[in-house]
Amino acid sequence: MNNMNTKNQIENSHYLIEFKDGQIHLFDKVNQANYPNIISVIDDGDEGDSYDYSEPFDNKEIAAEFLGCKIIENVLKSTMKLTGTIDLPIDLESRAKDGEVVQQEVLLELVLNHHILEESISVDIQTVNIADEHRLRLVFNTHKKNEKSYADIQFGTIERPTYLPQVEQWKEERWDEKPRTIEPLQSYVTNGFDAGDLQIVTEAVREYQFIGEDYTQIAMTVYRSVPYLGKSDLQDRPGRESGTKVRTEETRHMNESIQARYYLRVLGNADDEYSCAQFAKEMLTPLIGYQAASFRNNTDEFVLSIADEMNLPPTHSLVEVEGEVVCSTIKKDSRGTIVRLYNPKRNDSAEARLNNKTIELKTCQFEDLLID
């Protein structure tokens, strides 16, 4: 049974989230750390095309305003629902000249679990796009100076700088386009592996950038609205076109419902590339159920097994994996069942045991193993 109330905070054994003065604040009980204004929704202009982003000559950032929240609680989870609006210029010309503005609704939902996966904060954003030539991002505030970012790639982890010094002289050195720190990710990004660092997992748009003074904020792209396949003479890419200059309505996302889900976690003392990769795997792997009974199309009958008569063990696994490696894939081919394991660590090898078979994987290495 759900319980709706008028308070402005939710909590579990790991976190307390409070909505106050239009901002979302997080208290991490494990590390005893505060994160004021932990999450915000920021929009800016986008002069780019379907290939990549380009900052407009006259750019203005606009933040969504959240005026109130609704709390829903039950024994399994606590939910905070926020309704907000963001005043968006209808296009780049309106953004530059303070022209026509439309009010777009933004819904934000934060969920804390009870009893299981309490270290995860689910963050859902939902909106319907009604403006053109802009980019909407969900911004997480780390409250820490960041010189490096860390994201997973296929079978590994990559370290990247948050600032590129080449950005200062790229025009003088006649680069084709401005170097950017807008980076891809496989499933997660983090600002480090120390206690108090933030990990963000998503299966939405896999793009991030560290922004703000001292690069304290992680901006996750929710969507971009751009009307052209390719454009020329951009501020970030002067001269050449990236592709044919034709209008593409599907990349505008006009009047389209946009939904994206993220999982936020504050790291502890023992976290590393392995624990972050394993957490992302747990969050993004769907639960699959199987009904071990014949299905009858012509009836409404649903057959349930009687557990007391079957005398089954409480758990059962096809494979048992030991060691700090991640199971990437389980598949069948002509030889039998294949299990793919990989080592996500950047600097350390990892030993793993799979059904009494022992292997050693070097950094960012994977191996396929056949189950007898």
Identify whether the C-beta of residue 159 lies closer than 8 Å to the C-beta of residue 228. Answer: no
pLDDT value of residue 309: 67
pTM, two decimals, is 0.91
The gap from C-alpha 274 to its chain's centroid, in whole angstroms, comes to 18
pLDDT value of residue 214: 96
pLDDT value of residue 125: 98
Grouped pLDDT means (10 residues each) for the chain, 372 residues: 73 97 96 97 95 91 94 96 96 92 97 95 98 97 97 95 95 91 96 97 96 97 94 86 83 95 96 95 85 59 63 78 89 88 93 86 90 75
If DSSP codes are grouped into helix, strand and coil, which group holds residue 244? coil
The string over 178-195, giving b where at least 16 C-beta atoms fall within 10 Å of a residue's C-beta and e elsewhere, is: beebebebbbbbbbbbee
Phi and psi at 135, nearest 5°, equal -135, 130
Identify whether the C-beta of residue 173 lies closer than 8 Å to the C-beta of residue 113. Answer: no
pLDDT value of residue 315: 80
- What does the alpha-carbon distance between residue 162 and residue 107 come to, in Å, rounded to a whole number? 29
- What does the alpha-carbon distance between residue 283 and residue 199 come to, in Å, rounded to a whole number? 12
- Positive or negative, the Cα torsion across 118, 353, 192, 125? negative
| Amino acid making up residue 29 | K
What residue ranges define each of the domains in the chain, with the CATH number in brackets?
3-284 (2.70.98.30), 316-371 (no CATH)
Strand partners of residue 122: 111, 263
